[in-house]
Amino acid sequence: MKLINISLSNLRRRKGKATFILVGLLIGVSAVVAFISLVDALTQDINHKLEKYGANIIILPKTENLSLNYGGLSLGGISFEMQEILQEDLKRIRSIKNAANVAAIGPMVLGAIKVADRSVLLAGVDFNVSYALRPWWKVKGEIPQEEKGLLVGAEAGRVLGLGLGSVLEANGKRLVVSGVLEPTGSQDDHLLFTRLSTAQAILQKEGRISMAEVAALCTNCPVDDMVKQISGALPGAKVMAIKQVVKGRMETLGHFNKFAYGLSAFVVLIGGMVVLITMMGSVRERTAEFGIFRAIGFRGGHVIRMVLFEAGLISAAAGVLGYVIGVGITKLVIPFFTESIDVSVPFDPLLAGSVFIMTVTLGLISSVYPAFLAGNLDPNEALRAL
């Protein structure tokens, strides 16, 4: 018989009260876990989507010219006759320090061609990458599968009178329109897209590209660092980060996190109050019992230890169960928050450990005052309560 046995026996006997504290804490803890893991999962999902939303780094050849293009309105000044980047050089991007954060590299070759006596920009792209970098593309027909296939921007199609199945000739090469882009509101509306190798052949720019788009996964990497690393790998190129995209992503995720942590703090506070009030009630209910303990020689510290042990034990159970239930809730509700089917909620040892420590600490802190009251009960007064 030790103090711990008395505490365990008391918990067994007062199952209702212990369960009440446990449930109070469980609600708080599982809500916190659910919030955090839900936000975590959604953050990953949103980040993943944002990565898909487009490139956030642009690689251009170095030039002394200034662009006279704003909001799709071109006033001249862009020179496509500048020295292009070698396609082979793009492989060096895969060897930079943060190469793991490079989600996709989309090379593009650009050049003007004549179609029905009109000048139009022909863009050679890797359709697999470009389509992934532009999920907003909606194609009437299909993305070119063959070398002679052509994808026509909405405005270019209208101006040049091109539709599905139309055939045109560019620098002696026959191209067939396999798809027409629906209006995007971007400069893509004015372009003709074909496969990179086809465009390079038509424009006589074999092995060269005009620019490249890079999608960087930057949740845990500073995009500026990646820009520096790519610049180092491609000294002849100008590498720029589309800061608004990155900043916007970070702000969105930041808001989510703040919301989750704010709500968690509130729930934790409520959980703490539940423990405090219940433990106060329990101590009051056990006044006579504590009086007996003190009368037969227990020191105040012994009583405090017993109360804190009980609170610690319940809190520890709530910490473990709360994590499991919280993750379960997240898995249950996540389909209501995202349409992605591949969002996972893996076991997070850091979250599990933090939640366990937080719950036990919360339980103990909330029980300090009731325990102190119990330990400092005047034994004579306590026995009068008998």
Partner 1 sequence: MSYIVVDQIMKQYGEGKAAIVAVKGIGFDIDQGEFVAIMGESGSGKSTLLSVMGALNSPTSGRYRVDSIDVYALTQDQRAEFRREYLGFIFQSFHLIPYLTVIENVMLPLATAKMKGSEKRGMAHDALRHVGLEGKEGRLPGEISGGEQERVAIARAIVNEPTILLADEPTGNLDTKTSRSIMELFESLNSNGMTIIMVTHNAECAQYARGILRVSDGLLAGEERILKQTDLASEKGNWPNNGDMKTTVYGA
E strand segments, 196-236: 208-209, 211-216
- Report whether 215 contacts 56 (CB < 8 A): yes
Give the nearer residue to partner 1 in terms of CB position, either 110 or 377.
377
CA–CA separation, 253 and 51 (whole Å): 13
* Number of chain residues interacting with partner 1 (CB under 8 A): 27
Per-residue interface string for the shown chain with partner 1, residues 302-331, x marking contact by CB under 8 A? x-----------------------------
Among 23, 299, 347, 369, binds partner 1 (CB under 8 A): 299
- Asked whether position 294 contacts partner 1 by CB under 8 A, the answer is yes
Which of 145, 51, 148, 65 has its CA nearest to residue 106?
51
Residue 198 CA, distance from chain mean position: 37
- Asked whether position 13 contacts partner 1 by CB under 8 A, the answer is yes
- Asked whether position 75 contacts partner 1 by CB under 8 A, the answer is no
- Report whether 172 contacts 198 (CB < 8 A): no
* Shortest distance (Å) from residue 9 CB to partner 1: 5
Among 155, 225, 289, 348, binds partner 1 (CB under 8 A): 289
CA–CA separation, 194 and 81 (whole Å): 20
Which of 92, 55, 108, 87 has its CA nearest to residue 223?
55
- Asked whether position 2 contacts partner 1 by CB under 8 A, the answer is yes
Number of other CB atoms surrounding residue 257 within 10 Å: 14
Which residues in the 361-380 window bind partner 1 by CB under 8 A? 379-380
Contacts of 301 (CB under 8 A, 6+ apart): 375
- Asked whether position 292 contacts partner 1 by CB under 8 A, the answer is yes
Listed ranges 5-13, 60-68, 120-128, 329-337: which one lies at the site for partner 1 (CB under 8 A): 5-13
Give the nearer residue to partner 1 in terms of CB position, either 172 or 297.
297
Residues contributing to the site for partner 1 (CB under 8 A): 1-3, 5-6, 9-10, 12-14, 288-289, 292-302, 379-380, 383, 386
